[in-house]
A and B are shown apart, each in its own frame.
Chain A
């Protein structure tokens, strides 16, 4: 212990004496450890930190799946839910939820609130108790029973002024009075950002083709996910046999709640981020190891003296490692501050609200990780220099007058720098691929002109809009009033905003082509008022669109297909005039194709599915959703018409919320946030890596020149011109850069392969990236060599030879 104290004291004194070294090393390590701490905080929040409900590892999600069609994690139907709930013994309980944007009306304007319809057992199954009131009782939420609502703590505070007497009172939800039965504890917004929950029991007689339920369960004691998987798959197989027209080929899949929340793509990205910051730390370590090697050459006299005075090698190594660990721990402490700053910066660029359980903070686990990482880093970068320097070759030193390092040390330093460059090439490749992916998203063709468009959403809440006729009338009037707003040229209401939303899937039956039940083509359905294609600025390629009468008529048997679907169904001729049927969406009526539209981008870029590319447009009354989007095309900057548009909507019906008013360009920018954030994240890693690698090569080349002052002086005395000296130094640096870049390209190929699944529109072996990155890095490396090379040409040969 006393020796450790002595080593510590000596280490602090030595570092205080070598402030430039200590500051450079601490800064390098702070960047490396800081980024690692930041990314580990994300990994901790997303993958490691337990959810705050009871036995979170025993909560599972159950989905429908059609492996033959590559469909996974599909919502379940009410029939699926009841069959699984009643048949699966390995699941102690099963709850069903469906998300919904509720309109909450109170004293002021209606507010849109994210919430869930849920079976009454959800919170009891999870093990949450309310902060106020009670949880729903079994049977509450049946069709026809008194509507109830459970509020989040935040909503209770914000909208209801934390009224302690709220339980038992009614609030207007979607225009209908709901009795508040309880308030959940602060912070609970299950599953992610919900603010209210309405008990609702799915009706088992609903059509099997109507899939909209997210099913969660709790494993029975002693049972595993695999047990549950086997059981629900058996139940689904029996359902498929009994109901082949809807269930053939469909099965079920069970996964833990964590696996459900964190998909494979996010795990891959987190893995890539961890690897990336690991590389940054390795680069920082190589820099510091090089600094230590350089110091070791300078300190060799002191160490030789200590050895001569009887210090055992182990003692010398320990002393040097103590110094390294002290530097790393100080770097780690500074790194924690850097991680806080970096996380704040990155999280601030995420436009969406994060799930309530995702708390990115420096908890005990993160700090323990940072502490371990710091000590480990200190040992990693310190060990090699300590081992080398602690074995001074007295004879060589005496012969060389202790003037420098041996060829081996020089090679080691060179290898470290080449390694840094290789890692930097890999990181820069990852960042470039991410950026190219992001750019590909920004440049991707949505199929329509996004400029000059305003989008908004509304929810046709309350009994006033129970009838399809009332909804259609409201939407027609809304469109009419919006088109009367100055500078608005066209408006339309639709069920989905292109580039942001998808549509419900339907099985498609073509007249005259009998398909075996369960094997029909799956397509996405969208409904709209007339004028959708005018607003989008995409005239139909063939035929006509709906009339106002058709849009308001629930019996209108017309449909518009997109070009891809039309070509797939009728590759030889026109689709117009053919008949199709959409069982489950438009009952058994045959619908006549009246037009062919351009292919539009539904779903966000990168989230397209084969089904979302096959599009069917229906008149509104055929799929009369309550949640609707309204698109407006303006003849001037769309942001300028927000005020009058909002006013027109408000005066039409003050109880209905109009929300998410954004220009189409904002919608696109918003939906691109994951690409943007990951691109920014990797770019920040790559920038740090590039700077560290450049500093690394600069440091090594400066040291190379400093070590060779005599040799350069001799060469100049022997006739070397400044150009020849500069070329020699640059050649040495270029050799290191080339070796590093070549190794880096090989590594970059592996990086590209790992990233192929998480990027949009760019391959993992993009030749431009694989060629361009090493060239850029080579240029940076040569630039970093240039200053030392220039310094070398200014060496005074007389001084150099005299300093001998």
Chain B
């Protein structure tokens, strides 16, 4: 049994709190466009994107390199402010919000998982988990309790004092996922979460996402892998910045 195959599913209390979610989609994009001005002319990255993502959905964005997948994910995570169109997140009109309020939404509702894990090299596993909490209004004692609980839930108690360089890639990504969910986000955005992992580790990470999704967390992932996409409910295909297709996976819950 691998180190992280026994991760406990989140308890109902740990799952995204749905009480304060207004009715309607978590994400509603209307005519979203993004482009760069180049000497040779306008270079389009996203064209007229219209997408709705409902609470509890597990959506996969696919497409060839340069299709605009990661750009779209960064836009959804409010890391990118330079775009046109309308973006409603949990009823908040993101396109009208100033930078500060976008950061506040990100902080409150969104967790990120990256392909390169992006753990902080000079922090231990426990300290890495503490980082998102430190940016939110938790007291120190609360943070310690949540980190301890997460370490326990992800079966990482024995690794809590290790540094990222002392972990394998799969273990690092497990920490990455744990860090993404520790602040109980409503939405997890995962950019090629298994891109650097071998197949068995990838499978286990995807199963972990499934468990989190089943516990109520909305997930949007970017991947090249049909196999990983099959863990979700719906696939949105992008090409040259356009949405060129949309299909369901036939996943049964």
Contact = CB atoms under 8 A, between A and B. Distances in A.
B79 A718 contact: no
Interface string B160-183: 000001000000000000010001
A715 interface: yes
B106 interface: yes
Interface string A270-310: 00000000000000000000000000000000000000000
Nearest to B105: A719
Contacts of B70: 802
Interface stretch (B9-17, B46-54, B116-124, B144-152): B116-124
Contact of A717 (B77, B100, B136): B77
A720 B121 CA distance: 17
Contacts of A396: 165
Interface string B69-81: 0110010010110
B170 to A, nearest CB: 15
Nearest to B120: A711
A711 B121 contact: yes
Contact of B165 (A399, A721, A801, A804): A399
B165 A720 contact: no
A797 B79 contact: yes
A710 B118 contact: yes
A719 B136 contact: yes
B106 A719 contact: yes
Nearest to B163: A407
Interface string A708-726: 0011011111111100100
Contacts of A410: 122
A720 B135 CA distance: 6
A16 interface: no
Interface string A398-409: 011000000100
Contacts of B106: 719
A798 interface: yes
A176 to B, nearest CB: 87
B80 to A, nearest CB: 6
A719 B118 CA distance: 14
Interface string B112-154: 1010101111100000000110011000000000000000000
A718 B121 contact: no
Nearest to A716: B79
Contacts of A721: 100, 103, 107, 135
Contact of A715 (B121, B131, B136): B131
A399 B112 CA distance: 23
Given A718-B112, A718-B131, A721-B135, A801 B183 contact: no
- How many residues of A sit at the interface, in one of the four size bands? 20 to 34
B114 A719 contact: no
A193 to B, nearest CB: 65
A658 to B, nearest CB: 77
Interface in B72-93: 74, 77, 79-80
A687 to B, nearest CB: 36
Contacts of A715: 120, 131, 135
Contact of A798 (B74, B100, B119): B74
Interface residues of B, number: 25
A74 B147 CA distance: 80
Given A715-B131, A718-B132, A798-B80, A804 B116 contact: yes
Interface string B181-224: 00100000000000000000000000000000000000000000
B122 A714 contact: no
A714 B135 contact: no
B118 A804 contact: yes
A399 B116 CA distance: 12
A714 B120 contact: yes
A4 to B, nearest CB: 39
Contacts of B100: 721
B116 A719 contact: no
A714 B80 CA distance: 14
Nearest to B75: A798
Nearest to A724: B135
Contacts of B131: 715, 718
Nearest to B110: A719
A711 B164 CA distance: 13
A724 B134 CA distance: 9
B107 A719 contact: yes
A714 B112 CA distance: 9
Interface in A695-752: 710-711, 713-721, 724
B135 A717 contact: no
Contacts of B183: 719
A729 to B, nearest CB: 14
B237 to A, nearest CB: 22
Interface in A765-804: 797-798, 801-802, 804
Contacts of B77: 717
B118 A801 contact: yes
Interface in A663-719: 710-711, 713-719
B79 A717 contact: yes
A300 to B, nearest CB: 16
Most B C-beta atoms less than 10 A away, residue of A399, A719, A798, A802 = A719
B241 to A, nearest CB: 16
Contacts of B103: 719, 721
B221 to A, nearest CB: 16
Interface in A169-218: none
A320 B70 CA distance: 43
A456 to B, nearest CB: 73
Given A710-B118, A711-B120, A718 B165 contact: no
Contacts of A714: 114, 118-120
Given A798-B74, A804-B116, A719 B135 contact: yes
A536 B135 CA distance: 72
Contacts of A716: 79
A724 B132 CA distance: 12
A136 to B, nearest CB: 82
A399 B121 CA distance: 12
Nearest to B80: A798
Contacts of B71: 798
B115 to A, nearest CB: 9
B71 to A, nearest CB: 8
A406 to B, nearest CB: 9
A718 B106 CA distance: 8
Interface string A414-427: 00000000000000
A39 to B, nearest CB: 42
A720 B71 CA distance: 20
A798 B73 CA distance: 10
A717 B135 CA distance: 11
A715 to B, nearest CB: 6
A369 B142 CA distance: 63
A163 B83 CA distance: 94
A407 B79 contact: no
Contacts of A719: 103, 106-107, 132, 135-136, 183
B135 A718 contact: yes
A713 B106 CA distance: 14
Contacts of A710: 118
B179 A718 contact: yes
- A-B pairs, top 6 by smallest CB distance, nearest first, are A719-B107, A719-B135, A714-B118, A718-B132, A798-B74, A797-B79
Interface of A: 396, 399-400, 407, 410, 710-711, 713-721, 724, 797-798, 801-802, 804
28 contacts: A396-B165, A399-B165, A400-B121, A400-B165, A710-B118, A711-B121, A711-B122, A713-B118, A714-B118, A714-B120, A715-B135, A717-B77, A717-B79, A717-B112, A718-B112, A718-B132, A718-B179, A719-B136, A721-B103, A721-B135, A724-B135, A797-B79, A798-B74, A798-B79, A801-B116, A801-B118, A804-B116, A804-B118
Given A710-B118, A714-B114, A719-B103, 8 more contacts: A400-B121, A400-B165, A711-B121, A717-B77, A718-B112, A719-B183, A721-B135, A802-B70
